[in-house]
Amino acid sequence: PNYDGSLKEPEVLPAAIPNLLVNGASGIAVGMATSLPPHNLKEVVDALVAMIDNPGITLEEVMRHLPGPDFPTGGRLSKRGIREAYATGRGSLKVRAKVRIEEKGQRPMLVVTEIPYQVNKASLIAQIAALVKAKKIEDIVALRDESDRQGLRIAIELKRGANPQVVLNQLYKHTALQTSFTVNLLAIAHGEPKVLPLLELMRHYLDHRKEVVRRRSLFELKKAQERAHVLEGLLIALDHIDEVIALIRASEDATQARQGLMERFGLSEVQAQAILDMRLQRLVALEREKLLEEYRGLMEEIARLKAILEDETRLWGEVKRDLLRVKEKYGDERRTLITEFEESFNPEDLIEDEPMVITLTAQGFLKRFPLESYRAQGRGGKGLVAGKTKEEDQATEVFVADAHDDLLLFTNRGRVYRLKVYDLPEMGRQARGVHVKTLLPLTEEEEVAALLSVRGLDGEGYLVFATERGLVKRTALREYQNLGAAGLIAIRLQEGDRLIGVALSDPEDEALLATQEGQAIRFPLEEVRATGRDSQGVVGIRFKRPGDRVVSLVTVKPGEMVDLLSVSTRGYGKRTPLAEYPLQGRGGMGVITYAVSMKVGRLAALLKVRGTEDLLVLSKKGLAIRTPVAEIRQYSRATAGVKVMNLPEDDEVASAFAVEEEK
């Protein structure tokens, strides 16, 4: 009954389809909430038909017909999480916009054609614009809503040279281009709220639909039987029409006529009344044939309905036919693409893997900035300002690595730490940087002595260490696989010695050690026995002059056709073929590699080059120059070379590095 008991109202409407699944539902009550995603009508019907045909069907079999939700706004849906949501009735699904990458002139462009369910387009555009304004996404130069009656279209124009996939990942992470849809299949079952797994929800609907069809069949059977009963009376009357007319004419009123018909022909009151209500046109022969045809049809329908009610298989067949009729009339194709994609992003998905310049000062200030900040200059240029340093602070390292590389930082205490290059603060060329102790748990007297970039620590190679006093050590890279935030012991250093370089090598490689007084030795690394992390190494070079020290470590392949590029503290440089350096045993004094003098200064760095690179030189006062290696002439070992960088009298070269020439 309704609120005042005057009427009866249905508790459940006889839905032809499971509205909960097809249209979805959401709502919040006291202490509970429901959230059902919409599904494709054709797929839902196919799944229900499969369950009718196979009552013991499994979830995997159902999901062949119903693979997942289908949102009216389209988009892309992650496969991950769908099965769990269907199996338990709870879960979370990731939905993404459909985005394609186009080109507009020389610029890449992201075009959004479908957005996630329940996302407002205007709010999404405002969200993207806010990120651009806040400089959280820097590669977007234009944002337009180009939607029309043909459909949705949001155009996101990028800078020339920008990586559209990285920008797209940033948008997925920070905007509603990727959203989560919470699944909570809470429904009223038998008068009580209950979280229903998909199979149970479908079974409830089919049981409901079976009962609806059973009641409908009973109702239709009753109506058909009532009509057939009336038709039987009419046909009897038509067979005895003259007697019926005479009986009616002889009666004083309708009640007497009705009673007379019932007694004379054995009719029921309903049949007798139908005869009295019959119009005279029914007396013609054609009308009698129509009544007879209707009666035969009703008897067939009665037989059909009785068969449905008496046979459960036929009852389920009727349920199936009803579903298929709805599918045929209203079904359409799926709009949401179900696919596999990474639902969460690590920083490497959001950061361009571009070459970065890493600088370290004597006082431990560290920073990175894009290599493209330096344009190539001619040999002998004055350079650009690479960073502001205090008068007493000087740059000690310039290093080039890709943003996704692992940066290994080796300290004066012989420990090693690891940072991702992208974890270093990105700053402008002239910025000072941040102190390394804000990034690493260094002790008070510990400082970074050497840097090395690697792409992962699970390779088969070796790390080669060189110290200022000429010691070398070789340790397998895999011994550093467990390198965590607390760091690991990398090398045991003698008192007063310091690490000057670390390189990645293969067992067959050769090493070159170069000293500030211009000596260099080349020897096979197989002469340096591989040892564990907590060892100090063996003698690699002996010094010819007291006070000399090693400044560079270089590794080469046997027979490699390369040059060794020498750079002096006063900015002079030259290239010398590797073949001019004889292969010797380790522990000797080596050969001359650079003609040291007051004019050119001492040797600052020895680098391996092929002639296609650029040379990047950094001074202690923060000046930097980038110049093509090919512009630096070849000279023999015992020479000083040509001016590479013009330096003030109170400045000198701190570090040098060879970088791949930009295409």
> For residue 309, is pLDDT > 50?
yes
Q: What is the pLDDT of residue 510?
A: 96
pTM (2 decimals)? 0.62
**CATH 3.30.1360.40 domain extents, the chain:** 98-176
- Classify domain 98-176 at the CATH topology level: Gyrase A; domain 2 (3.30.1360)
**CATH 2.120.10.90 domain extents, the chain:** 376-390+460-660
Predicted confidence band of residue 350 (pLDDT cuts 50, 70, 90): low
- Token pair, residue 181, equals 């849809």
Q: Are 258 and 272 in contact (CB under 8 A)?
A: yes
Burial class (CB in 10 A: 0-12, 13-18, 19+), 48: buried
Residue type, 163: N
**CATH 1.10.268.10 domain extents, the chain:** 211-330
- Classify domain 376-390+460-660 at the CATH topology level: Neuraminidase (2.120.10)
> For residue 378, is pLDDT > 70?
no
- Token pair, residue 612, equals 């296609």
Q: What is the pLDDT of residue 345?
A: 61
CA distance 343 to 180: 10
CA distance 551 to 86: 65
Predicted confidence band of residue 306 (pLDDT cuts 50, 70, 90): very high
**DSSP-derived pairing of the beta strands 510-515 and 550-556:** antiparallel
Q: Are 597 and 640 in contact (CB under 8 A)?
A: yes
Residue pLDDT, tens place only, 251-269: 999 999 999 999 999 999 9
- Token pair, residue 361, equals 């000062």
> For residue 389, is pLDDT > 60?
no
CA distance 641 to 161: 38
Sign of CA dihedral 63, 68, 72, 77: negative
Q: What is the pLDDT of residue 130?
A: 95
Q: Span 369-388, mean pLDDT?
A: 55
Q: Span 472-491, mean pLDDT?
A: 89
Helices 312-330 & 41-53 angle (0-180, nearest 10): 170
**DSSP-derived pairing of the beta strands 337-339 and 76-78:** parallel
Q: Taking Cα atoms as reference points, which of 279, 261, 283, 281 lies closest to residue 270?
A: 261
Residue pLDDT, tens place only, 142-201: 999 999 988 999 999 998 878 888 899 899 999 999 999 999 999 988 888 999 999 999
The CATH homologous superfamily of the domain defined by 211-330: Topoisomerase, domain 3 (1.10.268.10)
Q: Are 554 and 503 in contact (CB under 8 A)?
A: yes
The better pLDDT of the pair 389, 416 is held by 416
Residue pLDDT, tens place only, 401-455: 888 888 899 988 889 998 888 888 777 666 777 888 888 888 887 888 888 888 8
Strands across the sheet with 76-78, in order? Answer: 25-29, 32-36, 178-184, 90-96, 76-78, 337-339
Q: Are 104 and 90 in contact (CB under 8 A)?
A: no
